[in-house]
Amino acid sequence: MATLHLMVGLPCSGKTTYARTLEQELSALRLTPDEWHLHLFGQDAEHPEHDARHNRIEAMLWNIASRALELGTNVILDFGFWAREEREDYRSRAKQLGASSEVHFLDVSADELMRRLALRNSQLSETSFYIPEAMMKPWLTFFQPPTPDELERRE
């Protein structure tokens, strides 16, 4: 049975780094929207169309992920999944496809996230967005950490 792995955490929590490790360990297809987004649109985090573009990329990546799960391939969605409702939606989708699901939560303190953000912004790459500190701060309060029951693997 294929497994859908959801990477949960805020920017700079280490999701993509951990997803790359899991990709190798699990022989999984890793889908990281930021990499696609940056390739297509560049550093557009403050552009008015950023969110709409990102949503379209995530929808496209889900189409790829769902087909891979149907074929029996493990999939890692490196989307962040900030809200419980979104996590539950994707877990339900996996179940409908006959796949199990697992949440991987990278719990990093606000101070550490802000430290990592400053470092990341000073060393931009082709795979990470520049995120102004003023954008990150509200996200710290919006993010819904997973509850213990969410961290259980679901068949």
pTM: 0.93
* Cβ contact 69:2 at 8 Å: yes
CATH number where 62 lies: 3.40.50.300
Total number of domains in the chain: 1
Considering only CA atoms, which of 105, 120, 104, 113 is closest in space to residue 141?
113
pLDDT recorded at residue 13: 96
Question: Residue 26 is part of which domain span?
Answer: 3-151
Q: Which of 27-41, 68-82, 93-107, 121-135 has the lowest mean pLDDT?
A: 121-135
| Residues 104-116: tens digit of each pLDDT | 999 999 999 999 9
Considering only CA atoms, which of 19, 41, 43 is closest in space to residue 102?
19
Give yes or no for residue 126 having a pLDDT over 80: no
Q: Give the count of alpha carbons within 13 A of 122, CB side only.
A: 6
DSSP classification of residue 27: T
Contacts of 124 (CB under 8 A, 6+ apart): 43, 130
Q: Exposed, middle or buried by CB within 10 Å (0-12, 13-18, 19+), for 37?
A: buried
